[in-house]
Structure 1
Amino acid sequence: MTHELKTARRIGPIIQFLRFGNLSEPPTGVIQCARRRERDMATLDSGTTCSSWNYSGHRLAAGSVDGTLSVYDSPVPSSYSSFTRSSKVRVSESSLVKIVWLPSEYGDAVACICEDGSLSIWEEVSEDTHALEWKLCKSLMSKSSQVLDVQFGVSRKSLKMVAAYSDGYLRVFELLNPLELKNWQLQAEFQNVIDSLSALGKPSTLSASVSWNPMRSGEQEPSFVLAFNSDSPHLNSSKIWEFDEAHNRWLAVAELASPEDKGDPVYAVSWAPNIGRPYEVVAVATHKGIGIWQVGLAPDLDGRLPVKKAASLSGHQGEVWEMEWDMSGMTLATTGSDGMVRLWQSNLNGEWHEQAMLEPVPS
């Protein structure tokens, strides 16, 4: 069986992606730091299937094919010293496929998606003066559908969790008590379609991608972009959903797809941080390449936000796996089935180009 390892690491203004694939044996992953010289930062177990850095980049969580969650720490994070495993816990009988850290203000906690479609939230706690250990806070399992992606967003009042399911529905959960990660309430449930007339039966979905607007002021409502890779054209296209507090509902305020591309399956979406721009920037990856979309901030009379496709990027030969912006929202890192990592930037004229191409080498 072939296993793949994906990792992402923020170092200065760039993001490093490492992904090992097409190996005849489960890989042992080596995370390396490129700061003037190359050296090993962490070695992950054979059978590692997914990984995720926390918001500060000081902790690494890794999932395994045997359903275990391992957490690695650095004794001196600021020095980029070697990471060692601090804990290991069995979270599922099936393989882990994705790990997402909760926002740091809610403690050290992660959400785990497993191959059986289940979603669970684990928190590192210390009980009765005992050593720190990871405890299960919440488990979500549906008999009719599987969780494909999950992301967290902080609103003015609470922490929200968006989970995308294989039936084409997204479910928004709200944390009732910030001190109790087990108390989640279902706030909304709807399909990724513009209007109710497009509501679908049960589509065949391969994947989904969710990305929250990372920088919302206290006066703005939370919003996120969602897309699917499925056999349903109405479901696939990337749509921006914004919460309407006055009516306590989520509204589709923009669709990021050209008329001829609306039915294309979407592999990944990523919302860029906004530092001073008069518009938002969202990256959308399909089999035709990566689209860079500009989203206006002022809605029209119908409540829709103006959108403009600013660039089309090509380079990955095949499917785009992941995309992530740097902290300034100026550099986009992408990785795909061609085994390459590409960094994209725009010049002063707004023209996008490939800034660098990296080829990770397994140790």
Structure 2
Amino acid sequence: QVVASASFDGFVCIWSEADAKEARGDGDSGDGGDVAMAGASTSGNGDGGSGDGGWRLASSFKASRSACLDLGFAPPQYGLRLALSFQDGAVKFFNALDTFRCADWKLVQAFEMGSGSGTTEVCHKICWRPFSQDMPEMILIGGSRQAAVLIFESDLDRWSQVAELAAAEGPAPVSDVAWASACGKANELVAFASGKVAYIAEVRDALDHLEVTTVARCEHGAAVFQVEWNRLGTTLATSAGDGSVRLWRPDLTNEWQEMAQIN
């Protein structure tokens, strides 16, 4: 297990699960003074099983001079790969050179939000597309004006925007994004939150481009902060500033309806 954390100073810390021997200090920590433990358990039975070891600081590095706004690991099929977005509009991708120790990380791609349009934009949220065989890497990002889908062109070693998702009221900051599992679906579903509405959009492959169609507006009485799909991508959970959590599913006519609310 690996956990990444980043802060306002642009530093990134990579934490890996340590075994019980490392947590007790009986063995070589491997990184000398750079090792830090968090939440090590002393109540285990000594068999070295999961939960006995706690966590160790595997690596830390300066990724930017700007504050980190969001980060996320790629699906494991792409390797140990981390995406980060920063306050200055940069989105950067780092790969682990050694997936076992997680000590060394290399910047492999980067792009600036809004660089092609000449406008300044910030990526508030970033989400990887769930892995599918024979499909390229894709991400869904939530910016200060809209959400967008980007695809990784491996032959050119770059990320390119292939679709835009805007709120019905026009350009507005996006507070969260989520990409549903493609399992058993003819078309894929994504969700993004902007203002008091969470939007559900359908993404279809139309030969040389992606077609995006908004299929539902999930309205709240306050600003929507988070959106999250269930594992199958059939139910969307949304949470808002009024303390409510709502669950949304399509009915028999494929119209999205609120099915439950938690206050």
TM, length-normalised to structure 2: 0.81
Matches within 5 A, 1:289-308: 289-300=197-208, 304-308=209-213
**Matched letter for residue 140 of structure 2:** V
**Residue from 224, 228, 231 that aligns with 1:327:** 231
Give the 3-state SS of the residue equivalent to 1:181 in structure 2: coil
**Residue from 216, 238, 243 that aligns with 1:311:** 216
Residue aligning to 1:179: 100
User: Aligned equivalents of 1:358 and 1:171: distance in 2?
Assistant: 36
Q: Deviations over 1:292-312 (max 9, x none)?
A: 100013443xxx311101111
User: Aligned equivalents of 2:140 and 2:242: distance in 1?
Assistant: 26
Give the 3-state SS of the residue equivalent to 1:327 in structure 2: coil
Q: Which ranges in structure 1 are unaligned for 5 or more consecutive residues?
A: 1-107, 230-235
**Matched letter for residue 192 of structure 1:** M
Matched, 1:276 2:184: yes
Whether contact under 8 Å (2:201, 2:216) holds in the other structure is: yes
Residues 175 and 154 (structure 1 numbering): CA distance in 2 closer, same or farther, change over 3 Å? farther
Residues 156 and 246 (structure 1 numbering): CA distance in 2 closer, same or farther, change over 3 Å? farther
Whether contact under 8 Å (2:68, 2:84) holds in the other structure is: yes
Residue aligning to 1:100: none
Residue aligning to 1:338: 242
Structure 1 window deviating more from structure 2 (157-166 vs 305-314): it is 157-166
1:164 positional shift: 0.7
Residue aligning to 1:357: 261
User: Aligned equivalents of 1:152 and 1:160: distance in 2?
Assistant: 6
Residue aligning to 2:152: 243
Whether contact under 8 Å (1:173, 1:188) holds in the other structure is: yes
**Residue from 127, 137, 147 that aligns with 1:211:** 127
Residue aligning to 1:226: 141
**Matched letter for residue 125 of structure 1:** A
**Matched letter for residue 13 of structure 2:** S
Give the 3-state SS of the residue equivalent to 2:116 in structure 1: helix
> Matched residue pairs, number?
235
- Which consecutive aligned stretches of 4+ in structure 1 deviate over 4 angstroms post-superposition? 128-131
Q: Which structure features the higher share of strand residues?
A: 1
1:141 positional shift: 3.3
**Matched letter for residue 339 of structure 1:** G
**Matched letter for residue 340 of structure 1:** S
User: Aligned equivalents of 1:221 and 1:287: distance in 2?
Assistant: 31
